[in-house]
Amino acid sequence: MNWQSYYKEHLVTAAEAVQKSLFEGANVVVGSGAAHIDCFIEEMYAQRDTIPFVNLFHVLYFGKGLYLTPEMEGKVRPIINFMERQGRNAFKEGRVDFLPCHFHEVPGLFKQGFYPVDLAVIQLSTPDAEGICSMGVSCDYTRAAIDHAQKVVGIINKQMPYLYGDTRVPVSRLDYIIEIDAPLVTVPQAPIGEIEATIGKYCASLIGDGATLQLGIGAIPDAVLNNLEDRKDLGIHTEMFTDGVMRLMKSGVINGRAKKLHPGKVVSAFTFGSQELYKFLDHNPDVEMHPVDYTNDPFIIGQHDNVVSINSCIEIDLYGQVTAESIGYSLFSGSGGQVDFVRGAKRSKGGVSIIAMPATAKEGTVSRIVPTLKEGSIVTTGRNEVDYIITEFGIARMRGCTMSERAKALISIAHPDFRAELEEAARKMIGYFK
């Protein structure tokens, strides 16, 4: 049977896919980010009175999130690895479970049977002439989900860009095929204010020609990229590809010539941004998407020279402990790939990792640099692994510094309104602080 005949034979509606693929207690994995699977979730919601109970795992979901609603309680047990707004609300109300795990270890949950995958529901591009689809904008953990699932529902989206790398999925791997023609979710760029612009300049001062970068989305990463127009031969090995990276690729600043692995290629695990970005990525030979257990593996990252990893956090204490996941007992996000790249950058010859953040929150009324993390806070990056901390007030190096030296450096980049109380706390906490 040729692939075209197979395709037609396995073509179903979303309603039929839900009816045929779900069974009691099934472990389901769904695509993440811009590659959401709303058409399938909407049918689960519509059939909520008759569908069996299932577990549903994902990392970051940009769809409508109907599976998180009170009406789906008792029908779906959402298991999330990274919180966003919809998930946070449902978690507080007891309808979501959370699975802590470094991002590069997520595929191992499926491979090693910690979360045996009964069903993977993944959005894909239209097949090429050989009957091969691309995972498009989200390769991350979906590669492992597809490879280890008992059954696969492929949602073929005519508007999903075809990306290269480890993204190939033959039509013959799909047990059920749904067709849609829907624009991908877009994420608007955050405005860059004076604070973010200053932080971006400080971060950029640590990036030299030929560096390989990892950064995410938001005002601070964009501000960093805005300050790199005069650099040469930058490379990208990251988990997330953004509009800012696209702009520097177009200008020639990012060309990957100095990379030790995949020279000349931008390597990422997933992407989201503008429609312009998705068009840029479609059949782009200079971009490769790879699974997150490759992109975020510290031992792979560390094979590049001069890696600069830039991430953010919620707060840091005077010991150098960083939380990027919770505000006290309130779970806010997840570790994502922060620790993966902190460790990878430290393994890199000439590498540095940066945690960049505004010095205050809540319109300047709360310091993000604190004596100790709030009670209940989750430590994301430990004090033994933290490297540079940057705010709009400067740069503080943690690696190689004693406790008293760290405290002094952190206080020097705190907002001036909070420095006196931080110094007082440091004297009580750290005997050698003078």
Active site positions, annotated: 239
The angle at the Cα of 327, spanning 322 to 331, to the nearest 5 degrees, equals: 105
Residue 88 to residues 42, 151, 272, 332, Cα–Cα distance (Å): 20, 30, 21, 7
Cβ neighbours for 289, distance < 8 A, ≥ 6 positions apart: 135, 136, 137, 139, 163, 164, 165, 166, 167, 267, 268, 269, 270, 271
Contact 143, 133 (CB under 8 A): no
CB-based contact 97:77 (threshold 8 Å): yes
Q: Helix or strand or coil: residue 427? A: helix
| Residue from 138, 137, 185 nearest 161 by CA | 137
CA 353 to chain centre: 16
Give the type of residue at 263: P
Count of other CB atoms within 10 angstroms of residue 381:
24
Measured CA to CA, the distance from residue 146 to residue 139 in angstroms comes to 10
The position carrying tokens 């909070």 is 418
